[in-house]
């Protein structure tokens, strides 16, 4: 970092990421699927979940869907965690998502718009 402008850009990008996680608001018109890939997530099988999500997105030619690796959000007991952010919708956080359930999320939530309530976790308690 060599200037105050560079620091301001870093701050602006960080605030956008925080806003995305908390409200689902993003400058992007794309659907974003966030996969927790911290140590606890990987130990719980998140790598397989991530691979299944990416494979299913590719198999269905979902060009407007991004699968993004993120760190821990503090709900280690619910790993692997997958958060779906769709434009102008509240984020949906899913817990204990294996590869097969990841494929189901793509088919039902992403393609058909149906939230899979049985896998949704309430993350509000984790926020101060």
Name which residue leads in pLDDT, 45 or 5.
Answer: 45
Q: What is the CA radius of gyration of the chain?
A: 15
pLDDT reported for residue 9: 81
Instruction: Give the Cα separation of 11 and 17 in Å (integer).
Output: 10
For residue 20, pLDDT over 70 is answered with no
- Average pLDDT across the chain, whole number: 85
What pLDDT, on a 0 to 100 scale, did the predictor assign at position 126? 41
DSSP strands (E only) in the chain:
31-36, 65-70, 82-85, 92-94
Domain layout of the chain by residue ranges: 4-126
pLDDT at 28: 57
Residues paired with residue 69 on neighbouring β-strands, in sequence order: 35
The sheet carrying 92-94 orders its strands as 65-70, 31-36, 82-85, 92-94
4-126 sits in which CATH class? alpha beta
How does pLDDT run across 27-69, given as a tens digit for each residue? 557 899 999 999 999 999 999 999 999 999 999 999 999 999 9
Closest CA to 106 of 47, 53, 59: 53
The pLDDT of residue 44? 95
pLDDT reading at 21 higher than 60: no
Is residue 121 a contact partner of residue 91, using CB atoms and an 8 Å limit? no
pLDDT tens track for 74-115: 888 999 999 999 988 889 999 999 999 999 999 999 999 999
| Residue 82: closest CA among 61, 104, 60, 63 | 104
Whole-prediction pTM:
0.74
**Does 10 score more than 90 pLDDT?**
no
pLDDT at 69: 93
């Amino acid at each position: 970092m060599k200037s105050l402008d560079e620091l301001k850009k870093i701050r602006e990008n960080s605030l956008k990421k925080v806003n995305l996680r908390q409200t689902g608001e993003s400058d992007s018109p794309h659907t974003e699927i966030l996969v927790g890939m911290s140590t606890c997530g990987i130990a719980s099988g998140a790598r397989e979940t991530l691979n299944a999500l990416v494979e299913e997105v590719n198999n269905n030619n979902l060009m407007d869907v991004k699968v993004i690796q993120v760190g821990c959000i503090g709900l280690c007991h619910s790993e692997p965690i997958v958060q779906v952010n769709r434009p102008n919708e509240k984020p949906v956080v899913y817990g204990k998502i294996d590869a097969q359930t990841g494929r189901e999320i793509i088919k039902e939530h992403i393609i058909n718009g149906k939230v899979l309530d049985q896998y949704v976790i309430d993350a509000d308690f984790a926020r101060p």
